[in-house]
Amino acid sequence: MARKRAPIELPTVDDLFTSQSERDNATLEGVTEIQLALIDPFPGHPFHVKDDEEMERLAESIAENGVLVPLTVRASGAERYGLVSGHRRKRAAEIAGLESVPCIVRSMGDDEAVIAMVDSNLQRETILPSERAFAYSMRLEAMKHQGQRTDLTSAQVAQKSSGRWSRDILAEELGVSKDKVQRFIRLTRLIPELLALVDEGRMKMLPAVEVSHLSEEEQAWLFDAMEAQACTPSHAQTVKMKRYAKDGSLTSALVRSIMEEEKPNQVEQFKIPRKSIARFFRPSATKDEIESRIVRALELLEQAEARRGWQGGA
């Protein structure tokens, strides 16, 4: 007799919008109902809260079941609270028409709150490059503040008291490379128009990082050139712009000129299967040798056809 399978437990909508640590904490700490009107968003919150289909689903779930995982807040003044985690749940509760939501009130300083806010949001499945960039930057600054010692000089502020750099510790805690952390943080120096292109996938990471070294005015020149030519710069082009900018010779006209250069991936390629021409070359012939021989053969053919045309017309 076949054994009856246990039913598969599907995740709730709240599961999809919360981290495991938030759900664990909700079972361990006291929960208080707080009026939505008394809860302020986190200052400079780097993660977007969109009224999209997912938000609609969450709002419908909250309207039916309430907020299952409490928001995390901290006291921010007389009868006011600062939201640390749960921005999407708060927005969904507003859409659902709730007046209050369950909250866990924690006592934490500014830097501790930043770290908690970033960590709770970095567990999302989909994060835009701009969100990750500002989140990494905010968390790094908070870590620097926590690691400062009064006997450190201003040049050493970025270093933890243990002698390790904050960015190294951040990379280790996030499970990514130090270079990746640094590249994302560089994106915070892009003008909004270029950063939006990175989020849309129209501008790649490496060129964007090089562009971040340009001034805002120089970046604006690049954006105008991109709009005019309907294209994005290659990594090589941005490296060239960065080099000219470093010696002070980059101009708007030079940016346009660099952008007009033909990129390798824009050159039309014509390929011939090697087996079709193998009998004309020795097996050890290199790609460059084959290309040179083909071009020379075509030049000779062109000359022969030109002579026949001249003789026929004489």
On the question of pLDDT at 4 being above 70, the answer is: no
On the question of pLDDT at 23 being above 80, the answer is: no
Region of poorest pLDDT, from 83-87, 172-176, 223-227, 232-236: 172-176
56-65 pLDDT, tens per residue? Answer: 999 999 999 9
Whole-structure pTM over 0.75, yes or no?
Answer: no
On the question of pLDDT at 154 being above 50, the answer is: no
On the question of pLDDT at 17 being above 80, the answer is: no
Region of poorest pLDDT, from 6-15, 65-74, 168-177, 210-219: 6-15
269-293 pLDDT, tens per residue? Answer: 567 777 788 888 888 778 777 877 8
Give me the amino acid identity at 83: L
Q: Can you tell me the mean pLDDT for 157-168?
A: 59
